[in-house]
Structure 1
Amino acid sequence: MGLAACSTTSSGGDTAATDPGALTDVKLQLQWFTQAQFAGYFAALDQGYYKDAGLDVTILEGGVDIVPQTVLAQNKADYAIAWVPKALASREAGAGITDVAQVFQRSGTLQVSFKDKNITTAADLKGKKVGNWGFGNEYELFAGMTKAGLNPGKDVKLVQQQFDMNALLKGDIDAAQAMIYNEYAQVLEAKNPKTGKLYTADDFNAINWNDEGTAMLQDAIWANTEKLKSDSAYQDQTVKFIAASLKGWAYCRDNVEKCRDIVVAKGSKLGASHQLWQMNEINKLIWPATNGAGTIDTAAWDQTVKIAQDTKNAEGKTVLTKAPDADAYTNDYVTKALAELKADGVDTTGSSYKPETVTLEAGGA
């Protein structure tokens, strides 16, 4: 699996046009390393859904120094997975990208603390040592504190947090930022030194920004804005890519363990139980999808944009200085993709979806 810097973009539908039996080369840039956060795309590749759609998809792994929306804007990938606020910031800076499918319908960000800290709402963070990752990941937290009447720069002690839970477990901070599908699992995989057993959810409180009303949209499929306007082959390809990807996510909804195994086989460095937890929690962010998987909800979009414009981080900066224009997102392609999937008998809403119960092992093994 190559990194974005080593890739070149596909040539739209030209290959398929010259040979009806050929597959169109497509590159998808992930925003992080291989893990169940992206299982639907790996499943679509593994199960042949992309191939069935006439696409030869290469999945480009993300990493610390890779900005997926920039890779897309530089024509080094055909599509990219990125959080909406970060992608909109890049778009305001000139990146020609459009959200064409909002895969995650809900935010997966939490603020986690030990039970004895009595932190159950954003207001309870007053006077506490509050960990946050920065780099654009902190705006839900800052919006939550601001909504609760706190001044993040004065009423709490902000601490730069690493992308793990060590500071929380050591007691260096009172509340830590965590993704429900990753870092939250890390504390449940750790041993309580007082008991010698793994911590349980009963040992912690977790503020969920969906409940606090300051959630922001996260993983979405982004496409090239100019090509969406001018390239009919790319337009058709986008519908096919979305449909096959969503079919992959539906497969992972119904085959949690198989998708865990697919991701592990693709080279994930995370343990099997951790990946199973992650797959289960990712499904909760997607399903049920009342309006159809991938559909961009206007209210959720508007809330994300408002927070991105109004909420200041520790440096006093906002994600956006103005509202994005009408090309920032569209439901046109996902609507067509969903129609195709429904015609093929694919459940695109998951109305009867029920999550599984996952038992984590020490260290996520």
Structure 2
Amino acid sequence: MRRMIGAALAGVLALGACGTADEDEPSGGDATGGVTKVKLQLQWFVQAQFAGYIAAVDKGFYTEQGLDVQILEGGVDIVPQTVLAQGQADFAVSWVPKALASREQGAQITEIAQIFQRSGTYQVSFADSSVKAPADLKGKKVGNWGFGNEFELFAGMTKAGLDPGKDVTLVQQQFDMQALLRRDIDAAQAMSYNEYAQLLEAKNPKTGQLYQPSDFTVLNWNDVGTAMLQDAVWANSEKLANDTAYQQTAVKFLTGTLKGWAYCRDNVEECRDMVVKKGSKLGASHQLWQMNEVNKLIWPSPNGIGLLDETVWKQTVDLALTTKNQDGQTVITKQPEGTAYTNEYVQKAIDSLKSSGTDVAGTSFQPTTVTLNEGGA
């Protein structure tokens, strides 16, 4: 796993740069005409997973902070924390375990906001496969995407007493659910807001109707106790330590970002429409489902959206240190060094938004009910 991640990180040194939307260097906090240009690197293609950032651009929340934010789309060949570490972006969105692995390999990055408070990763099986707990994966064909997305799965199997290298047959899974639908594998990795919906957007050949949740069983790593922190905002460690303008930009960027996410909590359909307009690859009902499910991962945030819970951070680090893959390797080999995270800048953003009347906790949040269409249309 670590070799795979290392190869992927090395392979995107050039790709990270060419994956940006233009050739201008990020400002790093330099202002032109009173406006500071900022580049944000996403970790995947445009979808409602990133609706808060898109809304902050479209609704002018970044402009209110004196920022001109350019959102750089991610993809299979782009490692956002590497793009950030190379200076090709000012901030990046990345899962914490992946970023910790990059830090151990030398990336000078620091987490400045924890947007997702809960994990969205599932392991999904057909209900008739009798996979009701991680221990039931023994002897099964278990799909996973690799590239750093499988850490919770390995932790769940390890906690259940399974050896991932011996007790299951690991299958490299595509970023869709076709292998499970064809029953080529017994359990598939899925995000609650994306691939799981793809199952419910597919027709059951036995009934001619769309599949229903009752047709599947879901292992939710939050329930199992092996959830790891996912979408976080990362910044350049050296600039945070030495560049006052960059520090100020970080607070402004987070202020606009958190306001964007609060807007998408309260305006689900409008944010869905923004995402679709930006060119999301999957359709309107899929993006509405995704917006609703992403909100569940963020809200409520009793201490304020983006504030990192140190207990959950410790769980993520401990799992990254102790969970072994099929080759006996762990995500990281030692405790993160230096300033791996800070709540300083997000707390300032939270305080600013609270003073202006923005609900940053969402304690009364209630998800909506979404009807999916075939193919997510």
Q: TM-score, normalized by length of structure 1?
A: 0.97
Percentage of pairs with the same residue: 69
Aligned residue type for 1:9: E
Cross-structure match for 1:11: 27
Q: Cα 1:233–1:306, aligned 2, differ >3 Å: closer, same or farther? A: same
44, 66, 79: which is aligned to 2:78?
66
1:204 equivalent in alignment to 2:194? no
Deviation track 1:305-334 (CA, whole Å, cap 9, x = no partner) reads 111111111232211011102400000000
Residue 169 of structure 1 is matched in structure 2 by: 181
Partner of 2:11: none
- DSSP-derived class of the 1:112 partner: strand
Q: CA deviation at 1:10?
A: 2.8
8 Å Cα contact 2:264-2:271 kept in structure 1: yes
Q: Deviations over 1:147-178 (max 9, x none)?
A: 01111111111111111111111111111000
Match of 1:247 in 2: 259
Q: Residue type matched to 1:160 in 2?
A: Q
Partner of 2:246: 234
Residues 11 and 263 from structure 1, CA distance in 2 versus in 1: closer, same or farther, beyond 3 angstroms? Answer: same
Using the alignment, how far apart are the partners of 1:59 and 1:302 within structure 2? Answer: 30
Q: Per the alignment, in what secondary structure is the counterpart of residue 57 of structure 1?
A: strand
**For 1:47-196, what aligned pairs fall within 5 Å after superposition?**
47-196=59-208
CA distance in 2, matches of 1:8, 1:302: 38
Is the Cα–Cα contact under 8 Å of residues 122 and 219 in structure 2 kept in the other structure? yes
Unaligned 5+ runs, structure 2: 1-17
Counterpart position of 1:274: 286
Cα distance per residue 1:218-276 (max 9 Å; x no partner)? 00000000000000111011001001100000000000000000001111111000000
Helix, strand or coil at the partner of 2:77:
coil
1:5 offset after TM fit, Å?
7.4
Q: Secondary structure at the match of 1:69?
A: helix
Q: What do the CA deviations read for 1:116-155 (whole angstroms, capped 9, x no partner)?
A: 1121111111111111111111110010011011111111
**Partner of residue 353, structure 1:** 365
Q: 2:303 aligns with which of 255, 278, 291?
A: 291
Instruction: State the alpha-carbon separation in 2 of the partners of residues 260 and 278 from structure 1.
Output: 9
Q: Deviations over 1:255-309 (max 9, x none)?
A: 0000000001111111000000000000000000121100111111111111111
Deviations 1:1-54 (A, max 9, x none): x832744433344325xx4xx210000000111100000000000000000000
Counterpart amino acid of 2:308? I
8 Å CA contact 2:29–2:38 kept in 1: the answer is: no
> Whole-Å Cα distance in 2 between the matches of residues 284 and 9 of structure 1?
35
Tell me the equivalent position of 1:225: 237
Q: Provide the rounded CA distance (Å) in 1 between the counterparts of 2:331 and 2:263.
A: 35
Write the distance in 2 (CA, Å) between the matches of 1:265 and 1:124. Answer: 42
Q: State the SS of the aligned residue for 1:329.
A: coil
Check conservation: 1:138, 1:313, Cα contact below 8 A: no
Residue type at the aligned position of 1:340: S
- Give the letter aligned to residue 79 of structure 1: F
Partner amino acid, structure 1, of 2:227: A
Structure 1 stretches (4+) deviating beyond 6 angstroms?
Answer: none
Q: TM-score, normalised by structure 2?
A: 0.94
Tell me the distance in 2 between the aligned counterparts of 1:226 and 1:70. 15
Whole-angstrom CA distance in 1 between matches of 2:164 and 2:358: 45
Secondary structure in 2 matching 1:27 = strand
CA distance in structure 1 between the aligned counterparts of 2:30 and 2:293, rounded to whole angstroms: 39
Deviations 1:59-105 (A, max 9, x none): 01111111110111111110000000101111111111000000011
1:4 alignment partner, SS class: coil
SS of structure 1 residue aligned to 2:31 = helix
Provide closer, same or farther for how the CA distance between residues 77 and 8 of structure 1 changes in structure 2, counting only shifts above 3 A: farther
Is the Cα contact below 8 Å between 1:53 and 1:241 reproduced in 2?
yes
- SS of match in other structure, 1:31: coil
Aligned to 1:337: 349
* SS of alignment partner, residue 339 of structure 2: helix
Q: How many residue pairs align between the two structures?
A: 360
Cα distance per residue 1:157-212 (max 9 Å; x no partner): 11111111111111111110000111000100000000000000011000000000
Residue in 2 aligned with 1:305? 317
Is the 2:163–2:326 contact (alpha carbons within 8 Å) kept by the matching residues of 1?
no
Q: Indicate how the Cα distance of structure 1 residues 4 and 316 shifts in structure 2: closer, same or farther if over 3 A, else same.
A: farther
* Structure 1: distance between partners of 2:271 and 2:178: 29
SS at the partner of 1:28? Answer: strand
